[in-house]
Amino acid sequence: MNINCKEIPYDFELERVSNELKGAKRVIVQLPDGLKKYTECIQKSLSEVLADTEIYFSMEGSFGACDLRIFEAKLLGAQAIVHFGHTEYSLQETVTEIEDLKVIFVPAYYKGHLPPGSVLNLGSNLKEIASEKPLLVASVQYLKLVPTVKEELEKMGFKPILGKSKKMLPGQIIGCDYSPLLSTKEADSVIVISGGIFHALGAALTFSGPVLRLDPYTGYVEDLRKERDYWLKRRYAEMMRAKNATSWGIIVGSLLGQYRPSIVEIIRKEISKAGMRYYLLLVSTLNKERILNFDSDAIDAYVVTSCPRIPIDDFGIDTFPKPILTPGEALSVIKGKTEVYRFPW
């Protein structure tokens, strides 16, 4: 693929990165799959300044900052990890600091602008759903668009609220942390600026009111309510399949940020309290084959504590032989409290 490095639509902050990497002999670069095509540009740019630095590009998925390749860095004796596309993981439970290892996060902000008329169109959609105080959030790439959208909506008479949380940037959400949506009770809708449906769907499963997605490339506005109804039906069906389970497979993540001892503990306790059995299953990257290899009559249902999006986004379409739930869903089923859908924890 021919890529013009000068026209990359994301800010890779390569000057900052090379400054921070000065003196490093060996580094690991992590890129989400969608950004891997820019490897050559990154290699060229960094090598110009860091002629004596060995750069290893990780071929792994890098879906989030939960997947920081600390163990590989130790293995290679690397002095730094450059992690593109995310900010520091907000739900990290275990210590990430390893002596002499520097971790550099590069959010890769989108450098483009919204197509003309996008916010006007968004305003019309807000009027249609009678929303005056929308909560404004974005996935990290599009955070720089948030102030413009907020300002333009204000000029149109709306009272947008910037979603905030303690451990993420103002307005930021990630696929498993929607705490900004819970930061205020005043919002009567949520606007998510994101390139695909992934982040917006999570918002719709968290917030019970209307959720609109503004596409930063096309300016298209999508109302997520139908999508939410569809997914809620599927998830409730999956929860009902787990209702009579008496033994559980608790899937524990071994990627750094996906190891969640506190969540595992809560689930273990609830399972034991209900007089049921469990097995602890450790995995770095989960897929259907891995579960099928392990599956037996001894396990009735699974709960995935590593990444709560896996049961929905990866297993949600085809019915798997056994129910596979998120922590929030499993806890609701085990406690018999399913009236309110609990997402994701």
What's the distance, CA 131 to chain centroid? Answer: 26
As measured in angstroms, the least distance from the Cβ of 103 to ligand SF4 is 15
Asked whether 140 and 86 are in contact (CB, 8 A), the reply is yes
Nearest Cα to Cα of residue 326 among 297, 298, 306: 306
Which residues neighbour 244 within 8 Å (Cβ) at sequence distance 6 or greater? Answer: 300
Q: Is 175 an interacting residue with respect to ligand SF4 (CB under 6 A)?
A: yes
As measured in angstroms, the least distance from the Cβ of 142 to ligand SF4 is 16
As measured in angstroms, the least distance from the Cβ of 235 to ligand SF4 is 16
Within 231-290, the residues that bind ligand SF4 by CB under 6 A are: 258
- Measured CA to CA in angstroms, residue 190 lies from 29, 53, 201, 206, 228 at distances of 34, 45, 11, 10, 13
Query: Which one of the spans 172-180, 186-194, 269-277, 293-301 is the region binding ligand SF4 (CB under 6 A)?
Result: 172-180
- In the set 307, 312, 325, 334, which binds ligand SF4 (CB under 6 A)? 307
What's the distance, CA 195 to chain centroid? Answer: 13
Query: Which one of the spans 158-166, 171-179, 188-196, 285-293 is the region binding ligand SF4 (CB under 6 A)?
Result: 171-179
Query: Which one of the spans 59-67, 96-104, 206-214, 334-342 is the region binding ligand SF4 (CB under 6 A)?
Result: 59-67
Q: Is 63 an interacting residue with respect to ligand SF4 (CB under 6 A)?
A: yes
Asked whether 135 and 173 are in contact (CB, 8 A), the reply is no
As measured in angstroms, the least distance from the Cβ of 92 to ligand SF4 is 10
User: Is 134 or 180 the residue whose CB approaches ligand SF4 more closely?
Assistant: 180
Secondary structure class of 87 (helix, strand, coil):
coil
As measured in angstroms, the least distance from the Cβ of 308 to ligand SF4 is 7
Query: Which one of the spans 61-69, 136-144, 164-172, 270-278 is the region binding ligand SF4 (CB under 6 A)?
Result: 61-69
Nearest Cα to Cα of residue 203 among 122, 258, 286, 134: 134
User: Is 176 or 212 the residue whose CB approaches ligand SF4 more closely?
Assistant: 176
Q: Is 64 an interacting residue with respect to ligand SF4 (CB under 6 A)?
A: yes
User: Is 157 or 196 the residue whose CB approaches ligand SF4 more closely?
Assistant: 196
As measured in angstroms, the least distance from the Cβ of 121 to ligand SF4 is 29
Question: Which residues are registered as beta bridge partners of 29?
Answer: 57, 82
Dihedral of CA atoms 25, 26, 32, 36 in degrees, nearest 10, equals 80
- In the set 103, 309, 330, 334, which binds ligand SF4 (CB under 6 A)? 309
DSSP H stretches of helix in the chain: 14-21, 39-49, 70-76, 118-128, 146-155, 198-206, 225-241, 261-273, 288-294, 327-335
User: Is 70 or 176 the residue whose CB approaches ligand SF4 more closely?
Assistant: 176
User: How many CB atoms are located within 10 Å of the residue 210 CB?
Assistant: 21
Q: Is 200 an interacting residue with respect to ligand SF4 (CB under 6 A)?
A: no
Within 80-99, the residues that bind ligand SF4 by CB under 6 A are: none
Query: Which one of the spans 36-44, 63-71, 144-152, 335-343 is the region binding ligand SF4 (CB under 6 A)?
Result: 63-71
Within 125-164, the residues that bind ligand SF4 by CB under 6 A are: none
Q: Is 303 an interacting residue with respect to ligand SF4 (CB under 6 A)?
A: no
Residue in this structure with the two tokens 């999956």, named with its chain if needed: 238
Query: Which one of the spans 9-17, 45-53, 62-70, 119-127 is the region binding ligand SF4 (CB under 6 A)?
Result: 62-70
- In the set 174, 200, 239, 304, which binds ligand SF4 (CB under 6 A)? 174
Distance between CA atoms of residues 323 and 240, nearest Å: 9
Evaluate the CA torsion angle 327, 331, 333, 337 in order and state its sign.
negative
Which residues neighbour 41 within 8 Å (Cβ) at sequence distance 6 or greater? Answer: 3, 5, 8, 12
Rule CB under 6 A: which residues touch ligand SF4? 63-64, 66, 174-176, 258, 307, 309
